[in-house]
Amino acid sequence: MQFVMDCLTVNENGNLSMAGCDLTEVARQFGTPAYVMDEMQIRQNCRTYRKSIEEYYDGNGLVLYASKAFSCKAIYRMMQEEGMGIDVVSGGELYTALQAGFPAEKIYFHGNNKTEAELTLALEYGVGRFVVDNRYELDMLNRIAGEMGKIAKILFRIKPGIDAHTHSFIQTGQIDSKFGVALETGEAEEIIGYAAKLSSVEVVGIHCHIGSQIFELEPFQMAAKVMLKLMATVKDAFGLELKELNLGGGFGIKYVKEDMPIDYDRYMEAVSQVVHQECARLGMNLPFIVIEPGRSIVASAGLTLYTVGCVKEIPNVRTYVSVDGGMADNPRHIMYGAEYEAVLPRNPLGEPEMTVTVAGKCCESGDILIRDIALPKVEPGDLLAMLATGAYHYSMASNYNRIPRPPVVMLKDGKASLAVRRERYEDLLNCDL
C-alpha cells in the first residue's frame, strides 16, 4: 500500500486522487481547510461488518455505527441505506439522526450521564434501546417511562475489567472508569437483579466497550467470554435470560505506517468462535450479537486538505509549516498526542527533502498537527493532505478563536458534493445576543 488510506491513488497528472476526483481540483472548488470523504469506502466498510454478522452469526445480530465518530445528516442517511443501526450519546446526535429520517427503533442511546430531558426525548421518539450506565439513570428512566405509560428496553453498560493496551485516555474497560457498572465487585449482577423487578423497563441485554484503536484480538475475545459468563450468572441467579449481547467497537485503524490493524472480518470471526464455544459450554442459546464500530467505518475514508501559509525555519531547531486550520478542526494531537501522515497532493510520492513540524493557526503553542514529518519541499501556497481524518475530527471540531468549521465534501464516482457546508462568519453569531 502506497498510503495509509486504501482509497487513495495517484492520477495521470501525478496528483493525489480519491474516488476518481483529483484532490487539487476538490481544493480549488471547495476551498481549504476541507474534510473530504470517500462515500463508497464508508459503505464498503459497513458491508464488510454486515457480511460478518451474516457469516458468523447467521444474521442474528446488528451492526451499529457509533455515530460520535462522525455525525451529520448525510452519514445517518447513508447508514440507513446500508441497513445499519446507530448509537448516539447525546440529545444532539439523536436529534440529528431523527431529522435525517433515521428509524428510532434502530437507535441505541448510550452515555454515562443522560439527562432527564434527553431520556424524555428518546422515549417520546421510541428509541430502540437504552444502554443504562448506572442506578441513578435506571431509576430516572423507569420513572419517566412509567409516567409516559411506556416500557423502555434496556441493556446495561458493564465494565468487564479488560485492559486493552491502548492510550490511557481512551481506555474504558477497567474498574477506574466513569462508564458503567463493575463486574468483579458484583455491582453488575446486583443492578440487573434490581432492574428485573422494575415495572417500566425490560432488561434485554448487556453491553461493553473496552476501548478504542485496539489492534489485538485477545481483548475482544476475553471481553466476549466474560460477558457470556455474566449472562449465565444472571440466568442462574434470577432466571432471567438476556437476549442481547452488545460487544461495542474499538477496532484499530491505520493512522501511520507503523499501525498494523487486523482485518475487521478476522476480529469478527475470532470473537464469534469464542461466542459459539462459550454458549455451548454454558448451555445457553446464542444471544443476538450487536457490535458498534465507529472509527473503523469512517476514519480511513477521510482526509483533511489544508493550504500552507508561512514556512518558518528556525536554524538548528526546527521548521514550522503552518496551515490554514489546526486544533479547531483537529484536536486529536493536542488531546491524545495522536500521530498522522501527510502528503502533498501535487506530489504525493515525492522524495522527502525536509523534516518539518506542521502547525495550526490557533493561538496555542500546543496547536501542532504533526511533529517531525519528512516531506518533499513545501512552500507557501502548497496544498497539504492530512490522512485518515474521517473519524473524530469533524465531530470534535470547535470554533476556538472563532474559526468557522470546514465543510465536509463527499466524493463518489468522480463527483464531489457537499455533505456539510463551510461555516460562515455570520454562523458564528447565531447564538450571540
Ligand X SMILES: *Cc1c(COP(=O)(O)O)cnc(C)c1O
- Chosen residue from 293, 326, 345, 360 binding ligand X by CB under 6 A: 293
Under the binding rule (CB under 6 A), the answer on residue 248 touching ligand X is: yes
Under the binding rule (CB under 6 A), the answer on residue 79 touching ligand X is no
Is 129 a residue that touches ligand X (CB under 6 A)? no
The nearer residue to ligand X, 30 or 35, going by C-beta atoms, is 35
| CB of 292 vs ligand X, minimal distance in Å | 4
Q: Cβ closer to ligand X: 111 or 345?
A: 111
Please name the residue ranges forming H helices in 149-243: 187-196, 218-238
Look up residue 123 and give its three cell numbers.
Answer: 422515549
Q: Is 334 helix (H, G, I), strand (E, B) or coil?
A: helix
Q: How far apart are CA 294 and CA 88, in angstroms?
A: 11
For the bound state, the minimum distance from the C-beta of residue 248 to ligand X, rounded and expressed in Å, comes to 5
153 binds ligand X (CB under 6 A): no
| Nearer CB in complex with ligand X: 57/108 | 108
- Which of 7, 36, 19 is closest to 408 using CA atoms? 36
Which region among 24-32, 63-71, 90-98, 410-418 touches ligand X (by CB under 6 A)?
Answer: 63-71
Give the one residue of 249, 345, 390, 406 binding ligand X; rule: CB under 6 A: 249
Residue type, 330: N
Find the binding residues for ligand X in span 100-119 (CB under 6 A).
Answer: 110
The answer to whether the bond into 33 is cis (omega within 30° of 0) is yes
Range in contact with ligand X (rule: CB under 6 A) among 7-15, 292-300, 338-346, 375-383: 292-300
Structural contact between residues 104 and 125, judged by C-beta atoms closer than 8 angstroms: yes
Nearer to ligand X, 26 or 303 (CB): 303
Using the minimum distance from each CB to ligand X, give the nearer residue, 57 or 251: 251
Q: Which is nearer to ligand X, 21 or 230 (CB)?
A: 230
Would you count residue 66 as binding ligand X (CB under 6 A)? yes
C-alpha grid cell, residue 258: 507503523
The answer to the question of residue 244 lying near ligand X (CB under 6 A) is no
- The contact mask relative to ligand X for 209-228 (x = CB under 6 A, - = no) is x--x----------------
User: What is the DSSP secondary-structure string of 51-109?
Assistant: HHHHHHHTT-EEEEEEGGGS-SHHHHHHHHHTT-EEEE-SHHHHHHHHHTT--GGGEEE
Q: Which of 216, 224, 301 is nearest to 259 (CA)?
A: 216
Residue in the structure block whose three cell numbers are 446464542? 286
Shortest distance in whole angstroms from residue 65 CB to ligand X: 9
Instruction: Find cell 423497563 and name the residue.
Output: 201
Residues in region 154-213 near ligand X by CB under 6 A: 209, 212
Binding flag, residue 68, ligand X (CB under 6 A): yes
| Cβ atoms within 10 Å, residue 91 | 18
CB of 187 to ligand X, least distance (A): 18
- Contacts by 59-64, CB closer than 8 A, 24 or more apart: 60/286, 60/288, 60/289, 61/288, 61/289, 61/290, 61/291, 62/106, 62/288, 62/289, 62/290, 63/290, 63/291, 63/292, 63/293, 64/108, 64/246, 64/290, 64/291, 64/292
Window 309 to 328, contacts with ligand X (CB under 6 A): none
Cα 329 from Cα 35, distance rounded (Å): 9
Size of the site for ligand X (CB under 6 A): 16
Of 293 and 325, nearer to ligand X (C-beta) is 293
Query: What gap in Å lies between CA 346 and CA 356, rounded to an integer?
Result: 18
Shortest distance, CB of residue 142 to ligand X, whole angstroms?
Answer: 21
State which residue, 71 or 296, has the beta carbon closest to ligand X.
Answer: 296
* Strand locations in 89-172 (E): 107-109, 129-132, 152-159
Q: Is 310 a catalytic residue?
A: no
- Active-site pick, 21, 46, 208, 363: 363
Contact flag: residue 296 with ligand X (CB under 6 A): yes
What's the DSSP call for residue 214? B
Q: How far is the CB of 242 from ligand X (least distance, A)?
A: 18
Instruction: Rule CB under 6 A: choose which of 46, 69, 154, 247 binds ligand X.
Output: 69
List residues binding ligand X (CB under 6 A).
Answer: 66, 68-69, 87, 110, 209, 212, 248-251, 292-296
Active site residues: 363
